[in-house]
């Protein structure tokens, strides 16, 4: 193995999908109830949502530089080169932590080349980029990996709708009046993450309209190309399967999988989010 991919747990990739690939996942941290949990290691999504429903506040932080350094040490045995993929530096301090971990690896004298790349995205969109990179690394060179990362970053997007603004408000991400109005009229805001920027697309008032809009956005983004699609959800498996079936039927993707957001994302959006990340398929 020449190149190994390192990314963080917010990528929300299913374990069975990445099993056997040259990919290491560094857990982010969740802080709740006076404890620090490691994302996907000692806290399940269901346990997190139980905390939130009981009124517990949860905050998150990126992996520590030491966690990245440990991943780089682990990667040194099977690989000669590492490509570390982080969420957008505009959205998370993970990129800075990974750079510090890479600096520590050089200071320590690890005989391995580490390249840290800001993917300009996050969540399942970052997961698609990491998956493409890991597949390229499984049978190609570092140049193949970098090319796969570039293609993925250039064409990936993520869309989702929130069932409630309550949890974003509790985390200080929307004004209280916006939360109140959203609950009053049943708004299901649709958000996008494209090229590192989160945007509000529109505010349909029903789940059905929100679902219709997600399918339309996915179709418009792919523009007739076959796609690789990750359907993601936060404690909403039935609606995620409904969206997945519609996307399979209407878009005929080259690949589609359903995944649940890890607790580190659930801590911010709360239960109920449904969406998809996608990019055009190659090969």
Of 132, 154, 176, the domain-final residue: 154
Cβ-Cβ contacts under 8 Å for 283 (sequence gap 6 or more): none
**Residue 80 or 158, more confident:** 158
**215 and 83 in one domain?**
no
Over range 5-28, report the average pLDDT. Answer: 95
Question: What was the pLDDT predicted at 174?
Answer: 53
Cβ-Cβ contacts under 8 Å for 221 (sequence gap 6 or more): 157, 159, 278
Of the candidate ranges 95-104, 145-154, 194-203, 221-230, the one whose mean pLDDT is the lowest: 194-203
> How far apart (Å, rounded) are the C-alpha atoms in residues 65 and 70?
9
**138 and 102 in one domain?**
yes
Is residue 19 one of the residues assigned to a domain? yes
**12 and 149 in one domain?**
yes
Local structure of residue 10 (DSSP, 8 states): G
Question: What was the pLDDT predicted at 11?
Answer: 96
Name the packing angle between helices 65-76 and 94-108 (round to 10°).
50
> How far apart (Å, rounded) are the C-alpha atoms in residues 44 and 212?
30
Greatest alpha-carbon span in the chain: 59
pLDDT band for position 172 (cuts 50, 70, 90):
low
- pLDDT digits over 213-268, tens only? 999 999 999 999 999 999 999 999 999 999 999 999 999 999 999 999 999 998 88
Q: In whole angstroms, what separates CA 125 from the centre of its chain? A: 6
**202 and 149 in one domain?**
no
What range does the domain containing 131 cover?
Answer: 3-28+63-154
Question: Secondary structure of 215-238 in the HEC alphabet?
Answer: HHHHHHHHCCCCEEEEEEECCCHH
How many separate domains does the chain show?
2
Q: Is residue 8 pLDDT above 80, yes or no?
A: yes
Over range 30-56, report the average pLDDT. Answer: 91
Question: What was the pLDDT predicted at 198?
Answer: 83
**204 and 101 in one domain?**
no
pLDDT band for position 283 (cuts 50, 70, 90):
low
- Percent of the residues in the chain that have a pLDDT greater than 70, as a whole number: 91
Q: Is residue 1 pLDDT above 90, yes or no?
A: no
Of the candidate ranges 19-23, 49-53, 179-183, 214-218, the one whose mean pLDDT is the lowest: 179-183
Q: What's the chain's Rg over C-alpha atoms? A: 19
For residues 25-48, one letter each, b for 16 or more C-beta atoms within 10 angstroms of the residue's C-beta and e for the rest, the string is bbbbbbebeeeebbbbeebebeeb
Over range 184-202, report the average pLDDT. Answer: 81
Cβ-Cβ contacts under 8 Å for 160 (sequence gap 6 or more): 190, 191, 214, 232, 273, 274, 275, 276
Q: Is residue 180 pLDDT above 60, yes or no?
A: no
Question: What was the pLDDT predicted at 210?
Answer: 93
What is the number of helices (H) and of strands (E) in the chain? 11, 13
**168 and 147 in one domain?**
no
Question: What was the pLDDT predicted at 184?
Answer: 54
Mean pLDDT, the chain, whole residue set: 90
Question: What was the pLDDT predicted at 248?
Answer: 97
Alpha helices in the chain (DSSP H): 15-18, 45-53, 65-76, 94-108, 123-139, 142-155, 166-170, 176-185, 207-222, 237-251, 263-269
């Amino acid at each position: 193995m020449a190149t190994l991919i390192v990314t963080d747990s917010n990528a929300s990739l299913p374990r069975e999908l990445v099993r056997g690939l040259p990919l290491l996942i560094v857990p982010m941290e969740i802080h709740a109830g006076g404890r620090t949990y490691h994302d996907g290691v000692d806290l399940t999504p269901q346990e997190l949502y139980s905390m939130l429903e009981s009124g517990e506040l949860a905050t998150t932080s990126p992996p520590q530089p030491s966690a990245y350094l440990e991943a780089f040490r682990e990667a040194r045995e099977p690989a000669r080169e590492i490509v570390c993929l982080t969420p957008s530096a505009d959205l998370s301090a993970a990129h800075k932590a990974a750079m510090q971990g890479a600096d520590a690896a050089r200071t320590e004298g690890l005989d391995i080349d580490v390249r840290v790349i800001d993917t300009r995205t996050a969540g399942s969109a970052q997961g698609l980029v990491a998956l493409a990179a890991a597949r390229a690394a499984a049978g190609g060179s570092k140049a193949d990996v970098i090319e796969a990362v570039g293609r993925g970053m250039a064409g990936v997007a993520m869309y989702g709708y929130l069932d409630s603004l309550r949890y974003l408000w509790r985390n200080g991400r929307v004004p209280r009046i916006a939360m109140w109005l959203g609950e009053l009229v049943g708004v299901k805001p649709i958000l996008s993450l494209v090229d590192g920027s989160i945007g509000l697309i529109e505010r349909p008032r029903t789940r059905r309209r929100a679902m219709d809009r997600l399918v339309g956005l996915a179709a418009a983004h792919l523009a007739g190309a076959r796609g690789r699609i990750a359907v993601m959800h936060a404690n909403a498996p039935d609606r995620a399967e409904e969206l997945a079936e519609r996307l399979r039927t209407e878009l005929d993707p080259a690949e589609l999988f359903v995944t649940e957001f890890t607790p580190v994302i659930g801590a911010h959006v709360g239960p109920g989010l449904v969406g998809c990340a996608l990019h055009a398929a190659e090969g």
